[in-house]
């Protein structure tokens, strides 16, 4: 409203009190890096004890423990985690791929989410991979890894040694490239070419129809 | 009309071929079951008792393209699904229509992504576009009525 009264002026802020004079600082050496809480985690200690050379790094994020291990030791670590009486990681929640282009020497990563049905605890393993480097398949340890590794292959192009049928799982078989890589164009490749393929696939009966998806198994 | 007026018995009516064909076509539009995403939930609600698309003759969802008249593309069309849509559309008998339901089927909607077809009209001809994300059942029924208006204006024997 036009005739609205202006609010009264705010009372003057009280003057800040004079700061106490700062104590003269001695030239102290930089503090040591804070201790890594992951390195006190019982699971970390246990893995480190069993595989002293395989553990690269431990990280505690909220309640999730991440242990980065060397690729060559992955299968042994996994078998240990599944079979050890105190661990019993008998359930593989997921296998995820990841791409860190800034990390030049090993831009790719696989993350394995483990859970123990029975002991109710979880753990995450990470493996760093160079571009084009293959990871060992854990399908022999947890059969659940089958489709998860196919997904990581489909979207990141990470290949897994020893996988029973490493082929695309989400994208069509004719797809080119791996879309979750950071250098992949967001809106995808040439749309006209894809629509051409769609028309061909809809018209022909070679690679489409009942049972087509199961071919090659 | 006036010449023929009252020349026949009570059970005979005179009309035009267009009116009769169009009336028959628009009054029994059998949709093809084609739910692809969340729009399908609204499409199911439209078919169920509260909204009841059957009041407009379009409540008999068929599970085969051979018995369908209208394809309601309800949801996100991915490149992987697109060949199936194209093929099912080709398998529908003429005359056939397509309703593009929701932002995804219209334009790709919130997914300008590598895996999503940016509008179903790139592979099949669309008669009615329904805006919304997802459109409410009222919107779908309004789109259906718009399609019925379109069918009403079709010419059966003339171009």
> Is the model's pLDDT at A217 over the cut of 50?
no
Return d(Cα A125, Cα A56) in angstroms, integer: 11
Note the pLDDT tens digit of each residue in B117-128.
Answer: 999 998 999 999
State how beta strands B97-101 and B70-74 pair. parallel
Residue contact A187–B83, C-beta within 8 A = no
N-term to C-term CA, chain B: 23
Return d(Cα A162, Cα A84) in angstroms, integer: 24
Task: Between A7 and A159, name the one with better pLDDT.
Answer: A159
pLDDT (0 to 100) of residue B138: 93
Check: CB of residue A191 under 8 Å from CB of residue A198: no
Residue contact B114–A208, C-beta within 8 A = no
Q: What is the chain A residue with the closest CA to B120?
A: A195
Q: Which of A165, A157, A163, A160 lies closest to A182, judged by CA?
A: A157
Check: CB of residue A150 under 8 Å from CB of residue A163: yes
**Which of A182, A196, A198 to probe by mutation at the B interface, max B CB count within 10 Å?**
A198
Is residue A193 very low, low, confident or very high in pLDDT (cuts 50, 70, 90)? Answer: confident
Note the pLDDT tens digit of each residue in B38-84.
Answer: 999 999 999 899 999 989 888 888 889 999 999 999 999 998 888 88
Note the pLDDT tens digit of each residue in B14-26.
Answer: 788 888 888 998 8
Note the pLDDT tens digit of each residue in B101-151.
Answer: 999 999 988 988 888 999 999 899 999 999 999 999 999 999 999 999 999
Q: Which of B142, B131, B67 lies closest to B101, judged by CA?
A: B131
Q: What is the chain B residue with the closest CA to A210?
A: B84
Residue contact B118–A194, C-beta within 8 A = no
pLDDT (0 to 100) of residue A97: 92
Cβ contacts of B126 within 8 Å, gap of 6 or more: B73, B98, B99, B100, B120
Q: Which of A85, A88, A82 lies closest to A140, judged by CA?
A: A82
> Is the model's pLDDT at A142 over the cut of 80?
yes
Q: Exposed, middle or buried: residue A200 (CB in 10 Å: 0-12, 13-18, 19+)?
A: middle
Return d(Cα A4, Cα B54) in angstroms, integer: 57
Number of alpha carbons in the 13 Å side-chain half-sphere of residue B22: 16
Q: What is the chain B residue with the closest CA to A179?
A: B114
Q: Which of A95, A75, A109 lies closest to A144, judged by CA?
A: A95
Check: CB of residue A35 under 8 Å from CB of residue A54: no
- Residues in chain B within 8 Å Cβ distance of A184: 114
The pTM of this model reads: 0.75
- Residues in chain B within 8 Å Cβ distance of A191: 118
């Amino acid at each position: 409203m036009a005739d609205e009264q202006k609010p009264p002026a705010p009372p003057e802020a009280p003057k800040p009190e004079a700061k106490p004079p700062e104590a003269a600082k001695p030239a102290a050496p930089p503090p040591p890096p804070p201790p890594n809480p992951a390195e006190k985690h019982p699971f970390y200690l246990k893995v480190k004890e069993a595989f002293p050379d395989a553990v690269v790094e431990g990280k505690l994020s909220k309640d999730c423990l991440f242990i980065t291990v060397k690729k060559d030791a992955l299968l042994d670590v996994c078998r240990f985690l599944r079979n050890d009486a105190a661990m019993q990681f008998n359930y593989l929640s997921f296998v995820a791929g990841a791409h860190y282009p800034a990390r030049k020497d090993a831009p790719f990563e696989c993350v394995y989410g483990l859970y123990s049905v029975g002991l109710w605890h979880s753990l995450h393993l990470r493996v760093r991979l160079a571009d084009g480097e293959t990871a060992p398949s854990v399908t022999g340890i947890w059969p659940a890894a089958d489709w998860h590794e196919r997904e990581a292959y489909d979207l990141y192009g990470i290949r897994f040694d020893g996988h029973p049928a490493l082929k695309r799982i989400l994208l069509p078989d004719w797809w080119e490239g791996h879309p979750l890589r950071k250098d992949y164009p967001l809106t995808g490749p040439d749309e006209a070419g894809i629509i051409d393929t769609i028309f061909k696939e809809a018209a022909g009966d070679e690679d489409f129809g009942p049972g087509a998806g199961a071919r090659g198994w | 009309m006036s010449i023929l007026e009252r020349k026949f018995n009570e059970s005979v009516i005179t009309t035009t071929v267009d009116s009769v064909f169009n009336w028959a076509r628009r009054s029994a539009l059998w949709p093809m079951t084609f739910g692809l995403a969340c729009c399908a939930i609204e499409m199911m609600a439209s078919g169920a008792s509260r909204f009841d698309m059957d009041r407009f003759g379009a409540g008999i969802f068929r599970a085969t393209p051979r018995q369908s008249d209208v394809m309601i593309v309800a949801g996100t069309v991915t490149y992987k699904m697109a060949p199936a849509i194209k093929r099912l559309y080709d398998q529908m008998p003429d005359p056939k229509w397509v309703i593009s339901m929701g932002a995804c089927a219209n334009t790709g909607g919130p997914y300008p992504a590598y895996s999503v077809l940016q509008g179903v009209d790139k592979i099949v001809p669309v008669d009615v576009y329904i805006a919304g994300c997802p459109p409410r059942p009222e919107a779908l029924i309004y789109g259906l009525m718009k399609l019925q208006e379109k069918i009403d204006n079709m010419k059966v024997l003339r171009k």
